[in-house]
Amino acid sequence: MVEWIVEKGLIPYEAAVQFMEARIADIRAGTKDELVWLLEHPSLYTKGTSAKDSDLLDARFPVHKTGRGGEYTYHGLGQRVGYAMLDLKMRQNNKPDIRGYVWSLEEWIIQSLAEFGIKGERREGRVGIWVVDGNHENKIAAIGVRIRKWVAYHGISINLNPDLSHFDGIIPCGISEHGVTSIHAQGKKISMHELDCALQKSFDRVFKGATHQTV
Active site residues per annotation: 173
Cβ neighbours of residue 16 closer than 8 Å, sequence gap 6 or more: 37, 39, 41, 83
156 sits in which H/E element: strand 151-159
Other Cβ atoms within 10 Å of 20 Cβ, number: 21
What distance in Å separates the CA atoms of residue 135 and residue 125, rounded to the nearest whole number? 19
72 sits in which H/E element: strand 72-75
Among 80, 88, 66, smallest CA distance to 18 is for 66
Q: What is the CA radius of gyration of the chain?
A: 16
Among 26, 32, 22, smallest CA distance to 214 is for 32
Q: What is the DSSP letter of 96?
A: -
